[in-house]
Structure 1
Amino acid sequence: MPKLYPRLKRLIGRAIHRYELLAEGDRVLLGLSGGEDSLVLLSFLAEWRRKTPFRWELFAVHLDMGFDTPADHEKKIKALKDYCEKLAVPFEVFFTNYGQMALEAKEKKVSPCFVCSWFRRKHLFRLAGEKKYNKIAFGHHKDDLIVTFFLNMCYHGELATMLPKQEMFKGELYIIRPLIFVEKKLISAFAKKEALPVFKNPCPLSPYTRRAKMEKILEEKLYPENPKFKGNIFHAIFNCKPDYLPKL
């Protein structure tokens, strides 16, 4: 894919500047799952840190959910640690049983994805408070924004999605999403080109989640109808016209 790096850099830079995602003195915690999204985000933020005219700190954190076998776990942690050392980014691993808790919740007819996500975010929020991080960076991208919009509309009856910059705890913490303008296919292409140490999601339920099903519907049913559909949907999310929506 020609000019892949400058294209990604331009899109990430647009998000950072438009939504003021980084500022002097920031301490940014990045959730490094081992998937290509978080690895690509780490690569670009590590470069951004070296080039910005102000000082800010970047840390990578991996929450082990307890799904991996000992051999797979060892391989993953070593690869992530080596990658962070290459980028001169501090790295730390935290071991949890959140995966098992999610699987047990499924047996009780409770959404395992909700349980897993809730405990994972709670852990990151607690860690941010203890270590004085003021921002948490996630690798959510353009496709995630669209899928979340459809999930909220179809399952919750509301027009809502992810925010590029989300205030938490009255401004004590912010969630930032620098990849918000980047399509998944660009992330995948860059990860492959750079031979990043990408690991598959070890959760046995990941192919069967509502998100996975919605992604399949959009990719196989909706987008093939018209090549402009994805771009128009993304633009519509930023171009809401409340005056033309009925009030309850």
Structure 2
Amino acid sequence: MPKWGKLSYAQKKTVSTVGMLMQKTEMVHDGARIGVAVSGGVDSFVLIKTMLIRQAIIPINIELMVLHVNPGFDPDSHHPLTDWCIENGVPSHIELTNYGPSAHGPENRSKSACFFCSRLRRKRLFELCDQYSLTHLAIGHTADDLVTTFHMNMEQNGRIQGLSANESFFKGKLHMIRPALMLEKKFIKAAARQWELPIWKNNCPSNDATKRSYIYERLQEEWNKNPVTRNNTFNALRRWQLDLNMKKQ
């Protein structure tokens, strides 16, 4: 039996779906140095756990490193992640910032605190990737994020655009990858419970009060009326996004 033990259905689904997308899009290469952005939420925590299993399975050598930028609402919230990384032998860079309070303060003149904070955090993640000579930055976006982003872009911005599984930045020096982009959140939540990951609550005052959460809740209401439309929506957008990424290879 492998060192991670026997996997449940949700865990197998998580590991295999991530592996499928990594393989079909040629997401990583031998010698890749991957920084995994872990916020402490369920998606990113399951991603690093899954990537550790994939690292042991795939026939190439890759390195993994946890990157965590604490937005500053709770200076101690990242301690469970620090302990988990030590216990699992995962290198990490974990730092405390004031991005969250600043985004909700007077220095933010934009309308969206989330945009302000996420822009600062992404900039810092790019800087850390450069500092540690990382070739990839892995983000924990899921199929649910793909569906929501597609509808947001269509309704808010008037364009048809989803989330790329593999994006190139800085003239190819860094690739932002989304290994869990084809995976539904219901499997991620189940796998997280079964792995007993030390996930902590998002204490941002804007949590669940954004345009993204509003659109997702509205979609959920429609899907509850007709569950078939949910499956059709997810399957259609996953095939569309996967086709786009494979054409880029």
TM more than 0.5: yes
Aligned residue in 2 for 1:67: 73
Deviation at 1:109, TM superposition (A): 5.0
Contact 2:15 2:54 in 1 (8 A): no
- Gapped regions of structure 1 (runs ≥ 5): 241-248
Contact 2:134 2:174 in 1 (8 A): yes
CA distance in 1, matches of 2:149, 2:228: 19
Q: 1:51-200 counterparts in 2 under 5 A? A: 51-68=57-74, 70=75, 73=76, 76-104=77-105, 108-200=109-201
Contact 2:138 2:176 in 1 (8 A): yes
**SS at 2:69 equivalent:** strand
* Deviation by residue 1:171-205 (Cα, 9 ceiling, x = unmatched): 11111111111111111111112211011112111
Paired amino acid for 1:227: P
Aligned residue in 2 for 1:29: 35
CA distance in 1, matches of 2:88, 2:110: 43
Pick aligned residue for 1:11 from 13, 17, 21: 17
How many residue pairs align between the two structures?
A: 234
CA distance in 2, matches of 1:118, 1:111: 11
Deviation at 1:84, TM superposition (A): 1.5
Contact 1:28 1:136 in 2 (8 A): yes
Paired amino acid for 2:222: L
CA distance in 1, matches of 2:163, 2:95: 26
**SS at 1:228 equivalent:** helix
Aligned residue in 1 for 2:212: 211
Aligned residue in 2 for 1:245: none
Contact 1:21 1:176 in 2 (8 A): yes
Deviation at 1:169, TM superposition (A): 1.5
Deviation at 1:228, TM superposition (A): 2.3
1:41 aligns with 2:47: yes
CA distance in 2, matches of 1:39, 1:109: 30
**SS at 1:28 equivalent:** strand
- Gapped regions of structure 2 (runs ≥ 5): 1-7, 242-249
Deviation at 1:230, TM superposition (A): 2.4
The RMSD of aligned alpha carbons is 1.9
**SS at 1:45 equivalent:** helix
Contact 2:70 2:78 in 1 (8 A): no
TM-score, length of structure 2 as denominator length: 0.88
Query: Which 4+ residue blocks in structure 1 deviate beyond 6 angstroms?
Result: none
| Higher share of residues assigned helix | 1
Contact 2:108 2:116 in 1 (8 A): no
